[in-house]
Amino acid sequence: MPTSGGNAKLTWEGWKKLEQLKELGILSKKCFVAMSCSEDLSEIYEQGIKEAIIEVGYEPIFIEKEEHNEKICDLIIAEIRACKFLIVDVTGQRQNVYYEAGFAHGLG
């Protein structure tokens, strides 16, 4: 496989497939984190989960830590769809965490 130079062409079908992969999150470098946003778990996220995700080359997405102006449910669904994988911490048994995990599971 050439590492530089050369010519490459992408067909229309190839572009459509690339867009499908992007929509499915297959090419994504994002990891969605579903967990309670309680203060007692903040350190676990910041120094454990977040650091581990970054260390392996992914971008952690934790909605409770993101600023947004959108309806939160729509934002969560969009971010889960855009991520390559999901990390779930069910400590505290928060209903939203189970929902997010179930939604991601339903995507495949």
Q: d(Cα 83, Cα 60) in Å, to the nearest integer?
A: 9
Assigned domain for 18 exists? no
Assigned domain for 72 exists? yes
User: pLDDT tens, 2-39?
Assistant: 455 556 677 888 778 777 766 665 678 999 999 888 78
Assigned domain for 42 exists? yes
* Structural domain of 91: 28-107
40 contact partners, CB below 8 Å, separation of at least 6:
none
Indicate the average pLDDT of the chain.
Answer: 82
What pTM, to 2 d.p., does this model score?
A: 0.70
Token pair recorded at residue 79 = 């971010």
Number of domains in the chain: 1
Assigned domain for 70 exists? yes
